[in-house]
Chain A
Amino acid sequence: MKILIIEDEIELVRSIIGFVGSDNYMFNYAFNYSDAVDKIGLYEYDCALVDLMLPDGSGLDLVKKLKKIQPKCGIIIITAKNTLDDKLTGLDLGADDYITKPFHLAELNSRIKSVIRRRNFEGNSEIVLNEVFINTEKREVKVNKKIVELTRREFDILLFLISNKERVLTKESIVEHVWADDSNAFDNFDFVYTHIKNLRKKLIEKGSRDYINSVYGIGYKFSLK
């Protein structure tokens, strides 16, 4: 898998690469518009992260170029501007997703994975982790081929945890992903615990190992180790 990151803030690029991990992915990055144009022409990518505000040009033009030259590449727009117009224009131009700075790395990671899943496997929307089998298209979870009945929220939490497996996810990032963007204004996230407790119980009941660990008071981690 090859990912192109077009972003002028080098430290953010480093964080993204650090979090998403270079084990399964190859990264290329461009800090400005002209560099990005070169990189687009040179290699093929599975996913591109495009910052709309670049020092020497607009990311929207890059989205257009990418769509034309590499129609298979999934595009996620990154922007500091929370303007709806840019979002709409970006999505109209063919971007697959849109994320606003500052974002949770876990959120970006899960979106990258979702875009790659949708784009590259053409219908193959299955994730297999040992005895756990997830069909993201049908929103179906099986453990040892037995269907696990999950609520909408439980499924979303599970998919988010699995997309970020082996990483610590804060309760806040889970709430923002599963519930609503603005829900971090609440000061009580106790219900996340309830949902995760139920999710674990349902998975274990069907014979899955207990992969979901809680990390002190801060959050949760899906770990195969």
Chain B
Amino acid sequence: MKLITKISRYFFSNSILIFIVISAVLYFVIEYSINEETDEQLDSISKRTYQLLKSGEVKSLPPFIEISIVEHSDTIREFKNVQIYVIKDEGEEPFRQLTSFININGTNYKVIARISLLEKGNLLLSLLIAMMASIFLLLLILFFINRKVSKKLLKDFFDTLKKLETFSIKSGDQLKVNKSTIEEFEQLNRKLLFLSEKASSEYRSLKEFSEEMNHEIQTPIAVVKSKLELMLQTSDLSEENISLLNTALKNLSKLERINRSILLLNKLEHKDLFENSDINLSEEIKNIITTYDDFIESKNLSVSLSLNEDFSLNANQSLINILLSNLVSNAIKHNVRNGVIKIDLKNNELIISNSGQKPKVNTEKYFERFYKESGSTESVGLGLTIAKKICDLYDMEIRNEFSEGFHRFILRFPL
């Protein structure tokens, strides 16, 4: 729910409540004062009637004044609300009456003075309508003002939101927010700035740490590797010892590959580290296929190339080589025996497809770090992550599809 809706809701529900209470209070106050007024009038009418009775000039004027002669006088004056037929068959009307007794020259008179309450009801009703109309109008006006003003008031807030959306901790740029004249938003901005700076600096130090660690680890790996290889040269090794050395070397080389891949991934964060040149893609692809010919043959794969010879790309040669090598070696590794590799380079699109097993998971997962589909122990699961990163670097789109027994990696180059 929007803030303004929420505020308006609270505002309206409370306004209506207050309005009901005020109306009720007002109703009773006004009714009370009208009654008081009526009673006073009845009193004065009665008094006037007595005077006229004394001079004998008065007659009954039903229903407003009724005079009758009674045997016993009463001292009680009684105010009362009654319903009276003014004209026959027209229904009753409400009246307030004052019954009083007076003794004039030995005759007991009972005087009833009445005032119609019809007007009082009308008055209250119109009062109520007026109130309702004014409160409705007020709310309506407030509603529109709210809507208009909220856009203005929340502008700073939405500005900040937009800045946050585009903010990336990786880019190394500072978060920039506009100053707000509203204290709450300014407070929010200050906190966000603080938070983003802290996050950035922590991210930086973590990154530096990981990069340093990657570098530092290279030398010990190199030493261990050289010692194991030296050990391999000793003449009196048993077959068992050689096999142990072989396993150790294989795993060391895996560690080496993981480390190297992470180094590259870290480096890929910085686009400006790479110098670009025009690269003929079909040349690159053919070179890679030649490099991997024995791997292709040992699985008895058939390769079919359909390459646009003229298509070239402005990018870093080594990175494009890594990208294509990763995709091609992927197509070899995850192929079946006697399978097929098809490479199709059209304008702005490269499709590398290979026959293979149906994927066990969503193919998007292939690009995740350390994802491994098969039980292949040699691959470390970073090749496609690197491929994706390189694509990101050059605004290329990369996706994977599987259909009819074929994996397809589709690369779309920016126009």
Q: Is A11 an interface residue (CB 8 A)?
A: yes
Measured CA separation A191–B332 after assembly (Å)? 14
A218 engages B232 (CB within 8 Å): yes
B245 engages A102 (CB within 8 Å): no
Measured CA separation A170–B380 after assembly (Å)? 20
Q: A184-B257, A187-B377, A216-B242 are in contact. Are A105 and B215 (CB under 8 A)?
A: no
A-side interface residues, number (CB < 8 Å): 42
Q: Which of A42-50, A64-72, A78-86 contacts B (4 or more CB under 8 A)?
A: A78-86
Q: Which of B119-127, B169-177, B217-225, B404-412 contacts A (4 or more CB under 8 A)?
A: B217-225
CB distance from B305 to the nearest CB of A (A): 19
CB contacts under 8 Å to B, within A1-45, are 9, 11-12, 15-16, 18-19
B223 engages A217 (CB within 8 Å): no
Q: Is B78 an interface residue (CB 8 A)?
A: no
Q: A19-B230, A105-B229, A190-B298 are in contact. Are A84 and B318 (CB under 8 A)?
A: yes
A12 engages B230 (CB within 8 Å): no
Q: Is A185 an interface residue (CB 8 A)?
A: yes
Q: Is B256 an interface residue (CB 8 A)?
A: yes
- Specify the chain A residue showing the minimal Cβ separation from B252: A102
Measured CA separation A84–B322 after assembly (Å)? 13
CB contacts under 8 Å to B, within A146-203, are 153, 167-168, 170, 172-173, 179-180, 182-188, 190-191, 194-195
Chain B hits for A182, CB < 8 A: 322, 325, 329
Measured CA separation A199–B54 after assembly (Å)? 154
CB distance from A110 to the nearest CB of B (A): 13
CB distance from A191 to the nearest CB of B (A): 4
The 21 listed contacts between A and B (C-beta, < 8 Å) are A12-B226, A15-B223, A15-B229, A81-B215, A83-B267, A101-B219, A103-B225, A104-B225, A167-B233, A168-B233, A172-B250, A179-B294, A179-B295, A183-B291, A183-B295, A186-B332, A187-B376, A191-B295, A216-B242, A218-B232, A218-B243
B-side interface residues, number (CB < 8 Å): 48
A216 engages B378 (CB within 8 Å): no
CB distance from B97 to the nearest CB of A (A): 110
A105-B226, A188-B295 given; name 6 further pairs at CB < 8 Å: A11-B226, A85-B273, A183-B291, A186-B333, A188-B298, A217-B246
CB distance from A53 to the nearest CB of B (A): 8
CB contacts under 8 Å to A, within B247-300, are 249-250, 253, 256-257, 260, 263-264, 267, 273-274, 291-292, 294-295, 297-299
A186 engages B378 (CB within 8 Å): yes
Measured CA separation A101–B294 after assembly (Å)? 26
A187 engages B378 (CB within 8 Å): yes
Q: Is B369 an interface residue (CB 8 A)?
A: no
Chain A hits for B274, CB < 8 A: 84
CB distance from B295 to the nearest CB of A (A): 6
Measured CA separation A105–B292 after assembly (Å)? 24
Contact of B291 among A18, A170, A179, A217 (CB under 8 A): A179
Measured CA separation A223–B318 after assembly (Å)? 37
Q: Is A215 an interface residue (CB 8 A)?
A: yes
